A and B are shown apart, each in its own frame.
Chain A
Amino acid sequence: MRSEMDSHRIDAKDLRFWLRWLLPIAVACILPLFLNHSWLSVLIEVGIMALVGSSLNLLFGYAGMVSFGHAGLFTFGAYTVAILLHYNYAPFYIACILAPLATSLFSIIVGWFCVKRVEVYFALLVLAFAQIVYMVAYFWVDFTGGSEGLTMLPVAHFFESPTSVYYLTVWTVGICLFVLYAIGESPFGYALRAIRENRERSEFIGINRKRYILLAFIISGFFSGIGGTLMVIHERAAFPGYAHFMKNAEFLLVCLLGGMNSFIGSTVGSFFYVISDTMLTRYTEHWPIILGGTIVFITLFFRGGIMGFLEKRYDLFKRRREELK
């Protein structure tokens, strides 16, 4: 099950490796020719979800730490941009750069508390921070706009058309995913895997668990902040609902649906999740029951996620072919 994630190395000379990255981006760049604006906005949400999902997977899939509060980091990034723009504290482009950095700073504080503990305690500590973000966004009406959020934000003129937001999302998410992939394949990524496989033994071989997890948490927070920034550019608004309790689990669901043991899993999962969510809400009012049922079904019968399933099929196919030879 772990094979896909652990087998690829970055090889700059390998043409197939670069094709795997550039081909999807090229396809994504052609898509606006065929799709209307409502589909583009769905795809933008897929991209944002994929970015936050993959950054969560750095902790969840690689290091085996379940974080139950990534929506808090995502929202912190979103509200940083929103507040900077709403009160004219900073020009648009500066705000977009400041937000992920501010989220990283916030992750340092959150992470400092959270990495002291493991397993459930870790998950719930992060959740506590996410809830605090939610409560502050919801109740501090004078500053954050309360339940109505901050709307009509002055986004740069260029990003008022959905197509340009779409291209921005494609390239930002593409580059961020590549960086996340490179981090995952670096010695640092392998140290995280060691922590996942056996916490005690990894400490015996000299891996400072807390420091590694904290660093992974900060990196994860940085990319979640970028996700939040993109969300604000896309919606031109920020709502407390971004940090809602359910949103946390949505990010985890995306990782598990696609397969947490594969890097591309979260992206595949967010494609599946966002598009089926949009279709379901469009065509049936019974969508929560289908969503809930899917989650239950996956956890009971389908634990490797989509990528895990495909891999198993592919292995079977390869073995059959060898037998025929």
Chain B
Amino acid sequence: MSFDFIVLQLFSALSQGALIFLVAAGLTLIFGTLKVLNLAHGSIYMIGAYIAYTVANYMGGIIGHFYIGIIMAAVVAGLFGGVMEAFLIRPLYKLDMHFVFLLTFGVIFIVLYLVYIVWGALWHSITAPDYLMGAMNIGGVFLPKYNVFLIILSFIIFAAIHLFINKTKLGLIIRALTADRETVSTLGYNVPMTLTYVFMFGCALAGLGGALAAPIRVIVPGIDELALLDSFIVVIVGGFGSITGALLASIAIGLVNAFSFLAFPKLAAVFPFILMLIILVVRPRGLLGKPI
């Protein structure tokens, strides 16, 4: 293996991790704050990809149509999440968690079929603007520009979430909610509304992830599943509710994917799950999760 080859693999691991992080950050935020596991997270990722496709195509001639598509994807995904939380999940907070499990499982079918009706079963794709396509030469190694863009964007989003959670007042309320919902409520803050905001924000991130992944992956009914399973692994490996943990876990899974594919191409898909098993047994709270 040459040096170039290893750099390229590391880079591909990093860009894969960046994409996984965008989707999984939303799930871990939702799980950490609301204490519900949203199985429809992958479906929201899929909605994001399709909305980006439609808007970008519709706005074809306008400058920046690609970015408008991405932003619209995040907005629509966030709104969808808000409606889902307010009308479907809110009545279930008092009950056992498996009811939310099941409800969101039903939502998967509904979204999948609506996507079939609206966009059909064929493959779609988006092309990024010309200046993001092609490769760039960094220190003698040629790297795809779009992936560099993805990595930088993911780090910016990570920094933004981190600052938001740790430095703003709403972030403080959200952190307090994770600890004790009732006390926050007695202090006079609108708890259900804040929970809806968090859910919307998490879903918007998933939609954004779907839109950003679209130029390098395909858009087809069924992409929700892979996104969901990846995010599950990230949430568990990184620790419930920890954004930094999610970042580390995403990169770890990118690395595991990239290098296990070299060693065992046939069984590569198993390794992220084995990583998850090891973490669950050795350190059940995840890399950076709070003790349980």
List chain A positions with a Cβ less than 8 A from chain B.
60, 66, 68, 113, 116-117, 119-121, 123-125, 127-129, 131-132, 135-136, 139-141, 245, 249, 252-253, 256, 286, 288-289, 291-296, 298-300, 303
- How far is it, in angstroms, between the C-alpha of A305 and the C-alpha of B95 when the chains are bound? 15
Judge whether B266 and A299 touch: CB under 8 Å: no
Contact with B267, one of A121, A125, A139, A296 (Cβ below 8 angstroms): A139
A-B interface, 4 closest residue pairs, ranked by CB to CB distance from nearest: A295-B106, A292-B109, A292-B110, A288-B113
Specify which chain B residues have a CB less than 8 angstroms from the CB of A113 in the assembled complex: 277, 280-281
Specify which chain B residues have a CB less than 8 angstroms from the CB of A288 in the assembled complex: 109-110, 112-113, 116
Judge whether B103 and A299 touch: CB under 8 Å: yes
Contact with A289, one of B113, B266, B281 (Cβ below 8 angstroms): B113
In the complex, residue of chain A having the shortest beta-carbon distance to the beta carbon of B36? A120
Specify which chain B residues have a CB less than 8 angstroms from the CB of A121 in the assembled complex: 236, 280, 284
* Total cross-chain contacts (CB, 8 A): 106
Within 8 A of A (CB), among B9-45: 37
In the complex, residue of chain A having the shortest beta-carbon distance to the beta carbon of B232? A124
Decide yes or no whether B91 CB sits under 8 A from chain A: yes
Query: Assuming A139-B266, A139-B269, is B105 touching A303 (CB within 8 A)?
Result: no
Decide yes or no whether B217 CB sits under 8 A from chain A: no
Some 10 contacts from A to B, beta carbons below 8 A apart, are: A113-B277, A128-B280, A135-B269, A249-B102, A252-B101, A291-B109, A292-B106, A295-B109, A300-B88, A300-B103
Decide yes or no whether B86 CB sits under 8 A from chain A: no
Judge whether B273 and A296 touch: CB under 8 Å: no
Judge whether B102 and A286 touch: CB under 8 Å: no
Judge whether B236 and A124 touch: CB under 8 Å: yes
- How far is it, in angstroms, between the C-alpha of A124 and the C-alpha of B277 when the chains are bound? 9
Specify which chain A residues have a CB less than 8 angstroms from the CB of B145 in the assembled complex: none
Nearest-neighbour CB distance to chain B for A232, whole angstroms, equals 23
Specify which chain A residues have a CB less than 8 angstroms from the CB of B110 in the assembled complex: 288-289, 292-293, 296
Nearest-neighbour CB distance to chain B for A258, whole angstroms, equals 13
Judge whether A116 and B92 touch: CB under 8 Å: no
Specify which chain A residues have a CB less than 8 angstroms from the CB of B229 in the assembled complex: 131, 245
Query: Assuming A245-B229, A300-B91, is B270 touching A135 (CB within 8 A)?
Result: yes
Judge whether B106 and A120 touch: CB under 8 Å: no
Query: Assuming A135-B270, A245-B229, A299-B92, is B106 touching A293 (CB within 8 A)?
Result: yes
In the complex, residue of chain B having the shortest beta-carbon distance to the beta carbon of A297? B106
- How far is it, in angstroms, between the C-alpha of A189 and the C-alpha of B284 when the chains are bound? 28
Judge whether A294 and B267 touch: CB under 8 Å: no
Judge whether B106 and A296 touch: CB under 8 Å: yes
Specify which chain B residues have a CB less than 8 angstroms from the CB of A245 in the assembled complex: 225, 229
Judge whether A294 and B106 touch: CB under 8 Å: yes
- How far is it, in angstroms, between the C-alpha of A68 and the C-alpha of B13 when the chains are bound? 29
Given contacts A66-B97, A136-B270, A296-B106, 4 further A-B contacts (CB under 8 A): A113-B281, A132-B270, A139-B269, A252-B105
Decide yes or no whether B276 CB sits under 8 A from chain A: yes
Judge whether A296 and B112 touch: CB under 8 Å: no
Decide yes or no whether B193 CB sits under 8 A from chain A: no
Judge whether A296 and B107 touch: CB under 8 Å: yes
- How far is it, in angstroms, between the C-alpha of A262 and the C-alpha of B98 when the chains are bound? 17
Query: Assuming A252-B102, A295-B102, is B277 touching A303 (CB within 8 A)?
Result: no
Nearest-neighbour CB distance to chain B for A5, whole angstroms, equals 16
Query: Assuming A289-B110, A289-B113, is B103 touching A295 (CB within 8 A)?
Result: yes
Decide yes or no whether B99 CB sits under 8 A from chain A: yes
Specify which chain B residues have a CB less than 8 angstroms from the CB of A253 in the assembled complex: 102, 105
Nearest-neighbour CB distance to chain B for A243, whole angstroms, equals 12
Specify which chain A residues have a CB less than 8 angstroms from the CB of B267 in the assembled complex: 135-136, 139-140
- How far is it, in angstroms, between the C-alpha of A50 and the C-alpha of B112 when the chains are bound? 27
Specify which chain B residues have a CB less than 8 angstroms from the CB of A68 in the assembled complex: 101
Nearest-neighbour CB distance to chain A for B117, whole angstroms, equals 8
Specify which chain A residues have a CB less than 8 angstroms from the CB of B114 in the assembled complex: 289
